[in-house]
């Protein structure tokens, strides 16, 4: 899955000559947390967050100072340069940026122009799509040896029962080296027969009970 498949294409932006008051108004009106700052050619030159706005906003107890500070231009508080991504970047690579940098959003740039934004919510939705949790399915966790060809071997159990695999992913078992967990979502609401088949194998172990997600 690529960034261009999950990014928001309609991006609300400001120019550097806009004021802090302008940014504050957009944050409230559109219920957003970040505003990219662009030049006349849509080149990204900075970004401001709701935290930047709050830090720059003075106390409401002094109305004269309050208005004077809100009239300052946005370039005085924007962050620059900005970490960006490309529309053809892979979803998991951008997820690493969010994790390592502790970002809440990343602008998407193509040919130096701002064309989109990716937020934490977009990443979460992409994860839901990749794991197949958005539709009715049964989830099975199977402990398997960490060897070449293991996914093909386990998938055979489902194909023999004519069961469609909705999604599959894996995670390690730190407490048991040489093994890993395969997490399958399968399109059946009665997996007892395939569970029985897997349990007959001396090499694989079903480690979690099935769960029907439409309950």
For 31-54, the DSSP string reads T-SEEEEE-TT-BEEEEEEHHHHH
Specify the pLDDT at position 35. 96
The domain in which residue 15 lies consists of 3-127
Say whether both 123 and 142 belong to one domain. Answer: no
Specify the pLDDT at position 131. 83
What is the residue whose two structure tokens read 């939705």? 125
Specify the pLDDT at position 110. 96
Q: Any idea what the CATH number is for the domain that residue 155 is in?
A: 3.30.70.260
Q: Could you give the number of structural domains in the chain?
A: 2
Specify the pLDDT at position 60. 47
Of 127, 158, 193, the residue that ends a domain is 127
Model pTM score:
0.77
Any domain includes 215: no
Distances, alpha carbon 183 to alpha carbons 68, 112, 144, in Å? 57, 40, 11
Specify the pLDDT at position 93. 92
Burial class (CB in 10 A: 0-12, 13-18, 19+), 107: buried
Any domain includes 211: no
Specify the pLDDT at position 133. 79
Any domain includes 213: no
Any domain includes 114: yes
Per-residue confidence in pLDDT tens, the chain, 215 aa: 899 999 999 999 999 999 999 998 999 999 999 999 999 999 999 999 988 888 876 654 455 556 778 888 999 999 999 999 999 999 899 999 999 999 999 999 999 999 999 999 999 988 888 887 777 889 999 999 999 999 999 999 999 999 999 999 999 987 788 999 999 999 988 899 999 999 998 899 998 864 444 44
Q: Any idea what the CATH number is for the domain that residue 67 is in?
A: 3.10.580.10
Say whether both 123 and 60 belong to one domain. Answer: yes
Specify the pLDDT at position 212. 46
Specify the pLDDT at position 175. 79
């Amino acid at each position: 899955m690529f960034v261009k498949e999950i990014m928001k294409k309609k991006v609300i932006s400001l120019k550097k000559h806009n004021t802090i008051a302008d940014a504050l108004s957009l944050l409230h009106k559109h219920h957003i947390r970040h505003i990219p700052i662009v030049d006349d050619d849509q080149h990204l030159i900075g970004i401001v967050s709701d935290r930047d706005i709050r830090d720059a906003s003075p106390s409401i107890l002094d109305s004269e100072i309050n208005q004077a500070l809100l009239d300052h231009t946005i370039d005085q508080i924007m962050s620059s340069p900005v970490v960006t991504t490309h529309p053809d970047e892979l979803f998991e690579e951008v997820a690493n940026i969010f994790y390592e940098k502790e970002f809440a959003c990343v602008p998407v740039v193509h040919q130096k122009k701002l064309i989109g934004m990716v937020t934490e919510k977009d990443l979460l939705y992409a994860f839901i799509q990749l794991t197949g949790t958005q539709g009715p399915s049964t989830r099975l966790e199977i402990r398997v040896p960490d060897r070449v060809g293991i996914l093909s071997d386990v998938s055979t159990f489902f194909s023999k029962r004519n069961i469609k695999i909705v999604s599959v992913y894996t995670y390690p078992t730190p407490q048991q080296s040489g093994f890993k967990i395969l997490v399958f979502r399968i399109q059946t609401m009665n997996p007892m027969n395939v569970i029985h088949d897997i349990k007959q194998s001396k090499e694989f172990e079903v480690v979690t009970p099935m769960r029907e997600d439409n309950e």
